């Protein structure tokens, strides 16, 4: 049995009774024990101050309770996420717990079915037949099925999957609620950019303008006391900043990247591309994916170069022989030695032969630079299947176009 003690002020009694009724119903559905005991009643003066001056005083009655409940031995129902209607399709905001514990876990063979993105939003628990603005998706581990429930029908399935929800639901009633009777708590409303292309093109423009591409999340932005990337991009949209020609050219490739990406979000991407709309809870994700797109392209290019060199590279010259060849610089690796930092500079010929020069001197070359390399063959060495020619006594001469 788990135990929680809390106090409810008289203005929250209706909310308390509603939550308790739902909890009792959930326990009954699972054949579990749930007991509530009234421990004490007391009053407290709540004072409202403006600029240090008391403007009102109210005496509020509090009732103290002890709640005890039992949790099931095994988990049957797992919370999947929130399903919302976007245009003619649905968008599933997948809960991180379900993503990491089930979708990404090789022990479970679970995938989000495509029909989730096209079914009507209706509660399959209360069978009311009413059309919902959004539903919560649950997965039944015993029956191996996904189903939808309205928010009011979640209790019987989810409270016992995340026991902390029970503690939060009731412990939060300790806080004095200043809302008038019948007022809403300010439920988050979903707004939508009607133009995915506008958001994506501004994100691409932003990253293409950076010398070194960087994504700044909201939490990192707070730490750095700077604007997050999503704020920078949406600010550019509001100011109607120009979209670069390069971003216009990259955009079709980026869209293809979205709809072919792997993972649980892939279907969401298809929906947003088809509807050309982005709900606010996905705007930051699209901006991040623009950053990831450029990173992935660089990785693909590096892997392509590495594969090409492994397949084609051959040793050049004989040991001790002088070498003079036009090459392109493509990589460098530095490491500590007992004599200081040493750097290996990697070059490739037009035939994809690899030449490596190790030195402690600073060499002013950038990736893609073409130079005339003069040196002496020091040794031939194979690394990870790639034949490499190591050289010494090197001089580089810039090749002007």
Question: Are residues 327 and 358 part of one domain?
Answer: yes
Give the residues of the chain that fall short of pLDDT 70: 26, 29-30, 72-74, 127-131, 155-156, 158-165, 175-194, 300-305, 338, 401
Question: Are residues 247 and 115 part of one domain?
Answer: no
Predicted pLDDT of residue 373: 92
Question: Are residues 38 and 174 part of one domain?
Answer: yes
Predicted pLDDT of residue 164: 54
Buried b or exposed e, range 200-209, using 16+ CB within 10 angstroms: bbbbbbbbbe
Question: Are residues 287 and 208 part of one domain?
Answer: yes
Predicted pLDDT of residue 190: 46
Q: Does the predicted model carry a pTM greater than 0.85? A: no
Rounded to whole angstroms, what are the CA distances from 340 to 173, 296, 335, 361?
63, 34, 9, 11
Closest of 262, 274, 283, 284 to residue 111, by C-alpha = 262
Question: Are residues 171 and 59 part of one domain?
Answer: yes
Query: Which residue among 107, 135, 157 closes a domain?
Result: 157
Could you give the CA distance from residue 157 to residue 26 in angstroms, rounded to a whole number?
7
Predicted pLDDT of residue 126: 74
Question: Are residues 48 and 100 part of one domain?
Answer: no
Question: Are residues 320 and 228 part of one domain?
Answer: no
Predicted pLDDT of residue 299: 74
Predicted pLDDT of residue 129: 56
Predicted pLDDT of residue 130: 59
Query: Which residue among 146, 173, 190 closes a domain?
Result: 190
Question: Are residues 201 and 294 part of one domain?
Answer: yes
> Is 100 within 8 Å of 192 (Cβ atoms)?
no
Tell me the residue range of the domain where 358 lies: 313-398
Biggest distance spanned by C-alpha atoms of the chain:
97
Q: What is the count of structural domains for the chain?
A: 4
């Amino acid at each position: 049995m788990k135990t929680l003690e809390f106090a409810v002020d008289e203005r929250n009694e209706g909310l308390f009774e509603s939550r308790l009724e739902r909890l009792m119903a959930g326990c009954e559905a699972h054949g579990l024990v749930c007991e509530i005991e009234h421990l004490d009643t007391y009053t407290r003066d709540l004072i409202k101050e403006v600029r240090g001056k008391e403007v009102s005083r109210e005496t509020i009655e509090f009732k103290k309770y002890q709640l005890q409940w039992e949790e099931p031995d095994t988990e049957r129902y797992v919370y999947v996420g929130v399903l919302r209607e976007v245009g003619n399709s649905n968008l599933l905001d997948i809960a991180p717990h379900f993503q990491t514990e089930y979708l990404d876990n090789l022990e479970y063979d679970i995938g989000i079915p495509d029909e989730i993105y096209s079914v009507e939003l209706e509660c399959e628990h209360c069978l009311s037949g009413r059309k919902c603005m959004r539903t919560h998706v649950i997965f039944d581990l015993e029956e191996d099925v996904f189903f939808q429930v309205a928010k009011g029908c979640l209790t019987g399935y989810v409270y016992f999957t995340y026991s902390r929800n029970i503690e939060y639901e009731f412990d939060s009633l300790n806080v004095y609620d200043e809302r008038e009777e019948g007022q809403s708590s300010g439920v988050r409303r979903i707004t939508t950019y009607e133009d995915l292309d506008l958001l994506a093109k501004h994100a691409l423009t932003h990253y293409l303008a950076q010398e070194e591409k960087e994504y700044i999340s909201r939490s990192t932005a707070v730490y750095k006391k700077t604007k997050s990337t999503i704020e920078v991009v949406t600010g550019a949209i509001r100011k109607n900043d120009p979209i670069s020609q390069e971003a216009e050219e990259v955009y079709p490739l980026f869209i293809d990247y979205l709809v072919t990406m792997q993972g649980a979000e892939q279907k969401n991407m298809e929906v947003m591309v088809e509807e050309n709309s982005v709900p606010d809870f996905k705007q930051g994700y699209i901006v991040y994916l623009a950053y990831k797109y450029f990173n992935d392209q660089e990785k693909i290019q590096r892997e392509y170069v590495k594969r090409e060199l492994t397949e084609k590279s051959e040793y050049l010259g004989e040991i001790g022989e002088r070498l003079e060849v036009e090459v392109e610089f493509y990589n460098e690796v530095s490491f500590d030695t007992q004599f200081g930092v040493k750097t290996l500079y990697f070059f490739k010929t037009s035939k994809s032969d690899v030449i490596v020069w190790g030195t402690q001197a600073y060499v002013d070359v950038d990736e893609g630079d073409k130079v005339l390399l003069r040196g002496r063959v020091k040794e031939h060495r194979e690394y990870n299947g790639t034949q490499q020619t190591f050289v010494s006594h090197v001089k580089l001469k810039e090749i002007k176009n």
